[in-house]
Amino acid sequence: MISLDFSFNILTRDLSYYLENQVKVGLFGSGVGLSLVLGFSAAYTCYYLISVAKKPQLISGGKKFYQFLREQCPVVSETYYPTFWCWESRIQTLLRPFVTAKPGVVYRNELIKAADGGQISLDWFDNDDSLSHPDPATRPTVLLLPGLTGTSRESYILHMVQQSRDLGYRCVVFNNRGVSGETLLTPRTYCAANTEDLETVIEHIQRTNEAAPIMAAGVSMGGMMLANYLGRKGRETCLKGVVVFSAGWDVFECTASLEKPLDRFLFNSYLTSCLQASVHRHRPVLEKCYDIDHVMKARTIREFDERFTSIMFGYPTNDDYYRDASPVHRLKSVQVPMLCLNAADDVFSPSHAIPVEAVKQNPNLALLITCHGGHIGFLEGLWPRQSTYMDRVFKQFAKAVIEQGSRLQDLS
């Protein structure tokens, strides 16, 4: 028994000596540990460069628009290098609001009346210090549409305002009813299918600055609303061009993807609670027309839409609403140059639902698909605080539309 204990003590001592000296020295010196670290780093770098960092796929329905983008927006041809430590879709989506900076922007708020007696909140960045466009009457205007529960204070909106400021342009952010602190005057909010408020806003912007060119950018649901608007209006719009980021093209596929267990836990439940918080904030005016207690029990976006959104906008069923809200059905009618950026790994807009074939049939459309980027992520660089791939696409396309717009007048 004494011999066994003695042997065990010797073994323990020898193992401790090896761990304290060989492995410890190896990790930070020249031993086995360093070799493992270097080997793993080399393998990860090879995997990243071969499988993660790739050039985006550019698809267009016409050679003229395709060539225009290649010449005026070099970013569409460059390899997209996602941030190497957070290139996975969900991580990009979750981290973007926290790691990207929020540039300081001072807005001028304006409340305009809607046809039903409601009010719409617009946040203007006038850019009166613009050197390239000092005359406010002709200063180009960029209309920005945030996502589902977003406002003018979202980091991605602030970044686009900053990019527009650098170009010398004016910005105006269209906040959907009831989300930016204004009082809801009528029992009506917003949805992706209804574009009446957007039409009111665009007409107001045009009347305010009749000589200024206008383009628009929409993110997520804001992009869906823009695409539906263009599909309805055809050529009857003053917009010179549109860029859409991370739009959901088929709402049925989007909601099905977000109802998968992990994505429901990470995204769906949170967004549903944000929608419910907005309803609760305006409960006094909404409870006159809707069963708010029933709405507050919804656990998914689909349940929320079944109990609230589809009823508010008069659809017989929620499926009817989802069908009308899906921009894929209106892409053939778009008559304004529209660039769409989607990531193939976006769980909000799954790759199989990205309308590649529909885009190929319309010379006014172009689709830019990255392998990675998540939903409104597109983080790049070692520490992606100041700029994203999406920001670069926006800035180059906005400049091209405003300054070379004459080349886009007839893309057929």
* Residues designated catalytic: 220, 346, 375
CA-CA distance, 165 to 167, in Å (whole number)? 5
Residue 365, CB-side half-sphere exposure with 13 Å CA sphere: 25
Closest to 199 measured CA to CA, from 211, 190, 187, 186: 190
Residues facing residue 368 across a β-bridge = 58, 341
Distances (CA, A) of 41 to 13, 31, 205, 396: 32, 16, 53, 34
Residue 97, CB-side half-sphere exposure with 13 Å CA sphere: 8
Closest to 340 measured CA to CA, from 148, 69, 72: 69
Closest to 263 measured CA to CA, from 376, 347, 147: 347
108 is written with which tokens? Answer: 């001028």
Beta strands in 10-74 (DSSP E): 57-60
CA-CA distance, 144 to 375, in Å (whole number)? 17
CA-CA distance, 26 to 376, in Å (whole number)? 42
Contacts of 249 (CB under 8 A, 6+ apart): 224, 326, 327, 328, 349, 353, 354, 355
CA-CA distance, 367 to 266, in Å (whole number)? 27
Q: Are the beta carbons of 408 and 240 closer than 8 angstroms?
A: yes
Work out the burial of residue 7: count CB atoms within 10 Å of its CB; fewer than 13 is exposed, 13-18 middle, 19 or more buried.
exposed
